[in-house]
Structure 1
């Protein structure tokens, strides 16, 4: 059981768990936050959604009947900005909710282990002194 606990508290296992959490659990929360909070704030500046921000390169962009760009080069930089914001928010949540508490727990655990090791060394030293005193009295 002690080996299993040590395995679970190793850095690699924790990092893997964090990666799974980032990819699965927080994705919907972050997407909802961006759609419900960030996009309306962006909407104050004239667009309903970050994805609607774009720029046209190489002449005027003309949309065809099916919605595809018929001429010009359309750069959809708003969707990239939205993805970057989602990533940064997800990383911040994971860092402050998972990484910091785990780091503090690990630091406290190491401190406790150091105190226990120091106590064992003192105990061995004290027992050695008692032994030496008894040997010197026996002579």
Structure 2
């Protein structure tokens, strides 16, 4: 049992797990900001043009209420969160490569040339073509 607890302790105290925990906490706080943005700013602005409030959209069928307006709001929240996360990851990748030198393309050196008389491929250091015996 102590071996199991030691393995769990080693796993839990890794840097990646702690980074993940911090990311989840920050993501939860950020979700509150995005929810407020959508519900308090974006939905009312869309409501001005469409004369609708998404949160009040409900379909009743057989005594069951389907709140598809809440689903639309959640979908908008997801799209905004995904876009912001995309921008953050893209900027972090750009920052990570900021100090590095761009990779130089590796060019292959030519080791052969074409004989102007017989058009066969020969060594670049050849002074006479081995196929037609012409001097180069």
TM-score normalised to structure 2 length: 0.50
Bigger radius of gyration, 1 or 2? Answer: 2
Bigger relative contact order (CA 8 A; separation at least 6): 1
TM-score normalised to structure 1 length: 0.49
Larger fraction in helix: 1
